[in-house]
C-alpha cells in the first residue's frame, strides 16, 4: 500500500501527511484516558509511520546517485531502528 500511495501522491505529500498523522496520534496517546484510546493512537501511529519510510526511500532514490542512495538508505534504517530501541527505555523504566 505504501508504494502505491507514493506513486499516486508523491513522497513529499506522503511524508508530510505521515508527520501530521503522527503528531495527532502522539497527542491522542499522550492524553488517552483508556486503553482503547491509547490503542487507537498507537494504531494511527503505525499507519502514519509505515508510508513515511517508503516515502523517504523513494525520495532518496530519485534525488541521489546510486552510490549516495545506498549510504542514505542505510542511515535512514539505522536512525529509524535506533529510535525504536531508544523509545523502549522510558517504558522499561516505568514498568520497574
Q: What is the pLDDT of residues 27-64, one digit of tens each?
A: 999 999 999 999 999 999 988 888 888 888 888 888 99
Task: Choose among 58, 80, 72, 79: nearest CA to 12.
Answer: 58
Distance CA 71, CA 26 (A): 30
Reply yes or no on whether the pLDDT at 87 is more than 90.
Answer: no
pLDDT for residue 33 = 93
Reply yes or no on whether the pLDDT at 93 is more than 90.
Answer: no
Element (H, E) at 33: none
Contact 25, 44 (CB under 8 A): yes
pLDDT band at 88 (very low <50, low <70, confident <90, very high): confident
Amino acid at each position: 500500500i505504501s508504494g502505491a500511495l507514493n506513486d499516486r501522491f508523491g513522497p513529499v505529500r506522503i511524508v508530510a501527511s505521515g508527520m501530521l498523522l503522527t503528531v495527532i496520534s502522539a497527542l491522542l496517546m499522550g492524553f488517552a484516558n483508556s486503553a482503547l484510546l491509547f490503542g487507537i493512537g498507537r494504531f494511527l501511529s503505525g499507519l502514519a509511520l509505515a508510508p513515511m519510510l517508503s516515502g523517504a526511500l523513494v525520495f532518496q532514490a530519485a534525488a541521489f546517485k546510486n552510490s549516495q542512495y545506498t549510504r542514505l538508505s542505510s542511515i535512514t534504517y539505522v536512525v529509524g531502528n535506533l529510535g525504536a530501541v531508544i523509545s523502549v527505555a522510558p517504558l522499561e523504566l516505568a514498568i520497574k
